[in-house]
Structure 1
Amino acid sequence: MRSKFFSGRLRAAAARAARIVVPATAALAATAAFANNIIVLNSAEATLSLIDENTRQVIGTVPTGKEPHHLMPTPDNASLIVANSVSNNLMFVDPKTGTVQRWVQDIEDPYQIGFSPDRKWFVSTGLRLDRLDIYHFDGKNLTIAKRMPLPTMPSHIAFTNDSKTAFISLQVSGEIAAIDLATQTVKWKMKVGPVPAGVWLTPGDKYLLVGMTGADYVAVVDLATQKVIKTIPTGKGAHNFRSLVDGKHVLVSNRVANTISIIDEDSLTNVGDITGLLPGPDDMELSADKKYLWVTFRFAKHVGVIDLASRKLIQTIKVGRSPHGIYFYNRAPVTAPNGA
């Protein structure tokens, strides 16, 4: 997420940037050693870092397009899609090796991306273009269904389990928009607070949690009444979510407070904070054994490894400038962007 404090500068830079075509490059050879790789996007450096999960060492760097922020595996997990927002394209890479497989051009300003749970729709938010693009997905190809104006600064996405609705956070207007995917129309909008970013649906799609990057809390939206029924104090810059995969808890990164809060999805309360982190905790990923949480530190050029038993940061790994999206190859594919 580009916060309101520096979004104007990035908008101006993006407007000046000409459309570029990035050539495919020779990447790394596939070997058995790549079985447990982690891919991190360095959004300010136009590269991805390949990290061996076992040794926790960077073993390769691959060029991307301009400003790669978010990433998403294809439903068959055969490819990892890297969304290059300023280059206006998608880069498909081998999730095991980072090897470039193909490019899809003329995908304008793909900031956050995601597949609906039924795999029929592919959604891309155009943060600098104030637009939402909805594509039909046939298992391989993307065909545009509709390009929808959606002011201002559409950011993160969450899908209902029935794939009927996508919720989009609008950073500048401080709203959430509910999008009907079948008709590609806005069902409703509502105010939620300053600079909403990450969005997360609680079990049964009862409540929508919204991280307030311009404040210090998570807003809880009752979808039946379309009202904010409570706020959960977390830390300044509440930003993005990641499930703990225990059916009970979800994490939220607090980019200004430099903490991660643990939210109980039943009681809708903050039950603990992970502190002692580097500046700008952002996207998070869980190891397959659920013992470690990996987090990108946007303002520190590092990725961190947190031991969940002790809730301590136990290691940091230097990567490129402004690390953002993170992906584990050894996890089952996740088609919705809630954990990306």
Structure 2
Amino acid sequence: MALAAGAAGIVPTLAHANNIIVLNSGEATLSLIDEATHQVVGTVPTGKEPHHLMATPDNSSLIVANSVSNNLMLVDPKTGKTQRWLENIEDPYQLGFSPDRKWFVTTGLRLDRIDIYGYDGHNFTLARRLPLAVMPSHMAFTNDSKTVFITLQVSGELAAIDLPTQTVKWKMKVGKVPAGLWMTPGDKYLLVGMTGADYVAVVDWRNQKVVKTIVTGNGAHNFRSLDDGRHVAVSNRVASTISIIDEDTLTNTGDITGLLPGPDDMELSADKRYLWVTFRFAKHVGVIDLTTHKLVQTILVGRSPHGIYFFDRAPVTAPNGA
């Protein structure tokens, strides 16, 4: 698959320095942004509706989940060059590896199910397709890799799935349109972004109880750690703000305002100074200076930008964006 010309007719070079990769869900493409210059240097065709992406545990491949094309596209995480395709992966909306790297899970948002695969470092072997209504979307794992939690957007529930047996352990109501999930240190609480409301629900998942709500902004949606051991950012997609939550006190320490419409997925620069965010409703990616909490740059990409990935970040097994 050949790379298309980038912004201003620039043709990308695959031997170029690290690129930032952004998925354009509305255009079936990914944009390559030069990390040094912040310029778009190329565009790569993907399957239909690429929403989320994440690196394999060894960081050798970046997995792009094409939900409508029913496949996964594996690309070079540094350059965006296509490596291989995996077909018959039905409706992969969100995706994630368990911390022990033995399980790979995809959520089928339109098919009302999750698919659980065994993973051996290269191959994905389907273990079970598990019906899970309605509209399963985001996920989070326990550190022991025994449980994956899934939000069900239409039914307003949180489901706990036992990975060894691939069965539903329980479901509980959490609120209107639950979306992004975040596990606090020590697996103490599960944070749930309530996209149909203006808060994050704090769930004592061992006792299946919402113990607190943290007001953030309308459309609380997705999370990104600030890698300081204490704070996590949550994007408020309707309010067009980003809130910073203290994981120890479970409070909102402040909001980042002055953003473009629809902040969604986020990524942190290697020096932890800049938070990058995709604006789903504005065809742009933004760069936020975390020392001032100001939006300092916007970069035009494709329609409905969603997932975002930095090669120079340490590989993780938790889903990168939702």
TM-score by shorter chain over 0.5: yes
Give 2:26's match in structure 1, choosing from 37, 44, 53: 44
Aligned to 1:17: none
Give 1:262's match in structure 2, choosing from 244, 249, 254: 244
Quick one: structure 1 residues 162 and 151, their matched pair in 2 at CA, closer, same or farther if it must change by over 3 Å? Answer: same
Give 1:34's match in structure 2, choosing from 8, 11, 17: 17
1:254 and 1:26 map into 2 onto residues whose CA distance is 33
Structure 1 position 252 matched with structure 2 position 234? yes
Contact 1:251 1:261 in 2 (8 A): yes
Aligned to 1:104: 86
Contact 1:123 1:133 in 2 (8 A): yes
Once the 2 structures are TM-superposed, how far is the Cα of residue 339 of structure 1 from its aligned partner?
5.1
Aligned to 2:319: 337
Aligned to 1:298: 280
1:255 and 1:289 map into 2 onto residues whose CA distance is 26
Once the 2 structures are TM-superposed, how far is the Cα of residue 224 of structure 1 from its aligned partner?
2.4
Once the 2 structures are TM-superposed, how far is the Cα of residue 25 of structure 1 from its aligned partner?
3.7
2:231 and 2:74 map into 1 onto residues whose CA distance is 32
- Please tell me the residue identity of whatever aligns with 1:62: V
TM-score by length of 1: 0.91
Once the 2 structures are TM-superposed, how far is the Cα of residue 154 of structure 1 from its aligned partner?
0.2
Task: Indicate the SS of the match to 1:34.
Answer: coil
1:73-88 to structure 2, matched below 5 A, reads 73-88=55-70
Contact 1:42 1:49 in 2 (8 A): yes
- Please tell me the residue identity of whatever aligns with 1:209: L
Contact 1:200 1:338 in 2 (8 A): no
Q: Identity of paired residues, percent?
A: 80
Give 1:57's match in structure 2, choosing from 14, 39, 42: 39
- Please tell me the residue identity of whatever aligns with 1:34: A
Quick one: structure 1 residues 228 and 237, their matched pair in 2 at CA, closer, same or farther if it must change by over 3 Å? Answer: same
Structure 1 position 196 matched with structure 2 position 174? no
Structure 1 position 162 matched with structure 2 position 144? yes
1:270 and 1:26 map into 2 onto residues whose CA distance is 42
Aligned to 1:132: 114
Aligned to 1:123: 105
1:202-213 to structure 2, matched below 5 A, reads 202-213=184-195
Runs of 5+ unmatched residues, structure 2 = 5-11
Task: Indicate the SS of the match to 2:193.
Answer: strand
Once the 2 structures are TM-superposed, how far is the Cα of residue 338 of structure 1 from its aligned partner?
5.3
Contact 2:53 2:308 in 1 (8 A): yes
2:298 and 2:318 map into 1 onto residues whose CA distance is 27
Aligned to 2:9: none
Once the 2 structures are TM-superposed, how far is the Cα of residue 225 of structure 1 from its aligned partner?
1.3
1:114 and 1:230 map into 2 onto residues whose CA distance is 27
Runs of 5+ unmatched residues, structure 1 = 1-23
Contact 1:233 1:270 in 2 (8 A): yes
Aligned to 2:132: 150
- Please tell me the residue identity of whatever aligns with 2:165: T
Contact 2:52 2:320 in 1 (8 A): no
Structure 1 position 182 matched with structure 2 position 175? no
1:263 and 1:74 map into 2 onto residues whose CA distance is 28
Give 2:204's match in structure 1, choosing from 217, 222, 229: 222
Give 2:299's match in structure 1, choosing from 317, 321, 337: 317
Aligned residues: 315
Once the 2 structures are TM-superposed, how far is the Cα of residue 29 of structure 1 from its aligned partner?
4.1
Once the 2 structures are TM-superposed, how far is the Cα of residue 334 of structure 1 from its aligned partner?
1.2
Contact 1:218 1:231 in 2 (8 A): yes
TM-score by length of 2: 0.96
Contact 2:177 2:195 in 1 (8 A): yes
1:296 and 1:167 map into 2 onto residues whose CA distance is 24
Aligned to 1:12: none
Quick one: structure 1 residues 26 and 38, their matched pair in 2 at CA, closer, same or farther if it must change by over 3 Å? Answer: closer
Once the 2 structures are TM-superposed, how far is the Cα of residue 34 of structure 1 from its aligned partner?
2.1
Once the 2 structures are TM-superposed, how far is the Cα of residue 255 of structure 1 from its aligned partner?
0.2
2:320 and 2:49 map into 1 onto residues whose CA distance is 20
Q: CA RMSD in A?
A: 1.0
1:162 and 1:225 map into 2 onto residues whose CA distance is 18
- What per-residue deviation string (whole Å, max 9, x for no partner) do you get for residues 32-69 of structure 1? x323x100000000000000111110000000000000
Contact 1:26 1:100 in 2 (8 A): no
- What per-residue deviation string (whole Å, max 9, x for no partner) do you get for residues 126-147 of structure 1? 0000010000001100000000
- Please tell me the residue identity of whatever aligns with 1:251: A
